[in-house]
Amino acid sequence: MRAVNVWVAPLVGLAALVSAQNGVADPRVVPVGTMAPWDASHDPDPTTFVSGGVTVTLATTKTADGSAAPQITVTAGGHGFSLVGDPDVTTANANAGVGRLDAGAPGLQVLFANFTGGAHCCDHLRVLEQTPAGGWTVVEVATVDGLALATFPKDLDGDGVADIVLPDDRFAYAFTFYAGSYMPPRVWNVVNGKAIDVSTQPKFAPVFRKDMAKAETYCKQHANGACAAYVADAARLGLFRRAWPIMLANWDQTTNWEWPVHCRVQAPPGGDCPQADQQSFTNMPDALQAFLVDNGYLPAR
């Protein structure tokens, strides 16, 4: 089974994103709510576009070690701001879009996605937004395995603000190899200048219900990555007790995978669990239940 990366799609050149004004195509205008991919290897460098009154420029800059990194410059209401992204191993690249992401902020925000290079990792997502005083601030959203967002996030619950749906890459390699890892969705909102995981809110149940149905299909084909995601989705929906027996009947017991370790104590932020407090497992069900508790899918017993 191939990895399920809900945000991956082929990128197209920025010049292809145009709007028609008086019947004339203008490549400098990108509609609000549209991601504009940019790659210095084949797009103009720098490239500038306008979206919803916000001017965005993407250009290559050199880091201290000589690597190429994307620099985004945004201007709105006479106030400008620049941010240097992460360098890639090959060429500067980025993906940017303008839209409504924070209900508490004045005007529109800019979503800046920058691929850092590597076999799977990583896509670094940040939101640039204006402050009431007219300056700009950067909101760190997430860094996840995968490629840049292909489409601008949609408003899933009708509140006028886009909901950022990303794969929960904590499941990558947890229960099988990467290509077999099925990563359930995780929903983020930007609220008052902070990125918040809102996955537990009932209004996003349709997101998890749809993913649960897909994961169940692969789980019944004895794919351990899908079985883990299936139970995780079910836990979000309050259906854990229904999904657990199905996982028990279908997980591949012939695997010799090394299951995730549970830490019996609260590990320090960004630190490792002390060796003496690490609990290992000999089977997937025990490891999965501890994993779901550790990552907020199930309450601690």
Task: Compute φ and ψ for 117, nearest 5 degrees.
Answer: 90, 165
In the chain, how many domains are there?
2
User: Do the beta carbons of residue 274 and residue 243 sit within 8 Å?
Assistant: no
Both 194 and 65 in one domain: the answer is: yes
Distance in angstroms (rounded) separating the CA atoms of residues 289 and 296? 11
Both 144 and 265 in one domain: the answer is: no
Both 140 and 269 in one domain: the answer is: no
Task: Compute φ and ψ for 216, nearest 5 degrees.
Answer: -60, -40
Tell me if 85 is assigned to some domain. Answer: yes
* Structure confidence at residue 115 (pLDDT): 83
- Cα distance between the two ends of the chain: 33
Both 243 and 98 in one domain: the answer is: no
Both 37 and 169 in one domain: the answer is: yes
Both 122 and 43 in one domain: the answer is: yes
Which of 50-54, 144-148, 202-206 has the weakest average pLDDT? 144-148
Q: Is the pLDDT of residue 92 over 50?
A: yes
Q: Which residues pair with 26 in a beta bridge?
A: 19
Both 192 and 48 in one domain: the answer is: yes
Q: Is the pLDDT of residue 130 over 80?
A: yes
- If you average pLDDT over residues 228-257, what whole number do you get? 98
| Greatest Cα pair distance in the chain | 70
Residues 6 or more apart whose Cβ sits within 8 Å of residue 190: 101, 102, 105, 109, 127, 129, 139, 141, 161, 164, 196
Both 40 and 110 in one domain: the answer is: yes
Both 43 and 144 in one domain: the answer is: yes
Looking at the chain, the whole-number percentage of residues with pLDDT higher than 70 is 88
Both 87 and 115 in one domain: the answer is: yes
- If you average pLDDT over residues 162-174, what whole number do you get? 94
- If you average pLDDT over residues 105-134, what whole number do you get? 86
Mean pLDDT across the chain, nearest whole number? Answer: 87
Both 260 and 287 in one domain: the answer is: yes
User: Do the beta carbons of residue 280 and residue 261 sit within 8 Å?
Assistant: yes
Q: Is the pLDDT of residue 78 over 50?
A: yes
Both 133 and 25 in one domain: the answer is: yes
Residue 269 lies in domain: 207-294
